[in-house]
Amino acid sequence: MGLARVFVAQMVGLAVFGPDGERIGKVRDAVTGIRVDQQPPRVLGIVVEMVTRQRIFVPMLRVTAIDPGAVTLTTGMVNLRRFAQRPNEVLVVGQILDAKVRVVETGADAVVVDAAIERTRSRDWVVGRLAVRQRRSRLSRRGHVQVMDWSELTGLSLSEEDQGTEGLLAVLENMRPADVAATLHELPGKRRREVVDALHDERLADVFQELSDNDQRDLLRYLDPDRAADVLEAMDPDDAADLLAELSSAESDQLLELMEPEESAPLRRLLSYSSDTAGGLMTPEPVILRPDATVAEALARVRNPEVPPALASMVFVCRPPTATPTGGYLGCVHSQRLLREPPSELVAGIVDSELARLHPEAQLAEVARYFAAYNLVCGPVVDDNDHLLGAVTVDDVLDHLLPEGWRDREPGANGATADVAVTGA
C-alpha cells in the first residue's frame, strides 16, 4: 500500500517505477488544484522527469504506492506530452514552498518549508498539512518549524513578490547539477534569479555547464560582471570558452579582463580555435604526468572525484612543463592498464606512444571518426611541435553533434504527442 502521508520535498528525486519494475524517471514535483474554500487542495498528480530529462504529468490515479525509496505506478495510459502547468494548477515545490501563510489561532506570520500529502478514505490525495517556520523570536534565530493542519493556516500567498527561496534551495541542495539546471529552466524568472543569487560560485558553475545556451546567456548577463567572471573561472575551461563564444566580443572581452590572468589565458587559447575543431572542443586540463611518475601517482590522480569520468579514462605523459601547452608529448596510458601494473612501476615504461593524435585544426567530423575508430572516450590534441594542448572527450563531441538547443527539446520534438501503456509483466 505504501505510505499514507508523505512530505513532497522528501519525494523529490525518488525513482518512479512501472508495475513491472521498469524505472521510468524521478519525481520532481506534485501538482494540486486551486480551491476557493478552506478545504485541503486535492493532489492532481506528480511531475516526473524521464531519463531523457523531459518532464511529464502522471495523474495520482496511476500511483499505486509511495514508499520511502520509490513511487510505483499501476497499469494504464500515461501521456508523454511535455508537462505544461494549467491556470488552475499549483506546483507544491515550485510555488507553495517558501510561500507566506498566517496561523489562524495566533495571527502570526509563517513561511511554508514543506507540504504533506495524505491519502483520504475516498483514496484521493490532498495537501493535508504544511510544515511552516514562524517568524524569528528572541530564542531562535530562524524560528521553529511546526507541522500544522491545513485548517490551522490561512492566507496562503502564491505571489512571487511574497516568496523566498530557502525551502526550494533545501530541495535543490542534494540534486545533481543537471537536475538543478532542469529545475531552474522551469521556474518563473524572478524565482530563478533568486536561486542563482543564493548558490555559491562553484555550485553555480556546475549548474551553468548543464544549462541550455539560451539560459546560460540570460543568466550570465543577469549576474554582476565581477561575479560572472568568478563563475566562469570555476567552470571547466572548455565549457567556459563555449559560453564566452556565444557572447558579443565586447561582453567576452570585458569578462576575460575581469578574470585572473592564469584563468583567462587557457580560455583565450581555446577561443582562438573554431568551435567545431579539436582545438575548440578540447579541455586544456587533462591528467598530465611526468615520465618519472609512478603508477600509484597516476591512479591517485584519476581517483580524484573532481576529475570527470571521461578525462579519468586516460593519463598523458609529457616532459616538463606539464601545464598545457606542455613539453614534449610522449604518449598516454589507459586507466585500465594502470590497474594491471605494480604501483611502483614508472608510467614511462607502459606509455602508449602509438595511439593516433588529434591536430588542433581537425574538424568535428574527423574527431568523431577518431573516437569511433579507436573506441575511446578521451583523446590527445597535439600541435606540430609535439606539445600537448589538451584533450577532447566524447561528451564534448556529442554536445556539438546534437542539434542546437538540444537541452531544451523534447525527444522527437516535432509537435507529436503520445500515450503509452504502463503495463505489468
Query: How far is CA 97 from each of CA 49, 356, 424, rounded to the nearest angstrom?
Result: 19, 54, 35
pLDDT at 138 exceeding the cut of 60 = no
DSSP three-state, residue 159: coil
Q: Looking at residues 44-50, what average pLDDT do you find?
A: 93
**Cell for 173?**
541542495
Close Cβ partners of 91 (under 8 Å, ≥ 6 residues apart): 29, 30, 31, 47, 85
Average pLDDT, stretch 272-278?
93
Q: What is the pLDDT of residue 68?
A: 87
pTM, two decimals, is 0.73
> Structural domain boundaries of the chain?
5-88, 93-166, 200-272, 288-401
Task: Name the pLDDT band for 34 (thresholds 50, 70, 90).
Answer: confident
Mean pLDDT for all residues in the chain: 88
Which residue in this structure is represented by grid cell 579539436? Answer: 278
Residues contacting 141, CB < 8 A, separation 6+: none
Answer whether residue 147 shows pLDDT above 90: yes
Q: Determine whether 138 is exposed, middle or buried from the number of CB atoms within 10 Å of its CB (0-12, 13-18, 19+).
A: exposed
Q: Can you give the pLDDT at residue 168?
A: 87
Length of the chain: 425
398-423 per-position pLDDT tens digit: 888 877 665 555 444 444 445 555 65
The CATH number, out of the four listed (1.10.20, 3.40.50, 2.30.30, 1.10.760), of the domain defined by the range 93-166: 2.30.30
Banded pLDDT at 28 (limits 50, 70, 90): very high
Residue-wise pLDDT tens digits, 52-107: 888 999 999 889 989 988 999 987 777 888 898 888 899 999 889 999 999 999 88
Q: Identify the architecture of domain 200-272 in CATH.
A: Alpha Horseshoe (1.25)
Q: Report CA-CA distances (Å) from 317 to 83, 295, 333, 358, 366.
A: 49, 12, 8, 16, 24
CA distance 150 to 135: 18
**Per-residue pLDDT, 415:** 40
Query: Residue type at 129?
Result: R
| Per-residue pLDDT tens over the stretch 166-177 | 888 888 888 889
Q: Which CATH architecture has domain 5-88?
A: Roll (2.30)
pLDDT tens for each residue of 240-250: 999 999 899 99
pLDDT at 424 over 70: no
Query: What is the rounded CA–CA span in Å between residue 117 and residue 31?
Result: 11
- CATH class of the structural domain 288-401: alpha beta
- Residue 411: per-residue pLDDT: 44
Is the fold of 5-88 the same as that of 93-166? yes
User: Residue 278: in which H helix or E strand, if any?
Assistant: helix 278-281
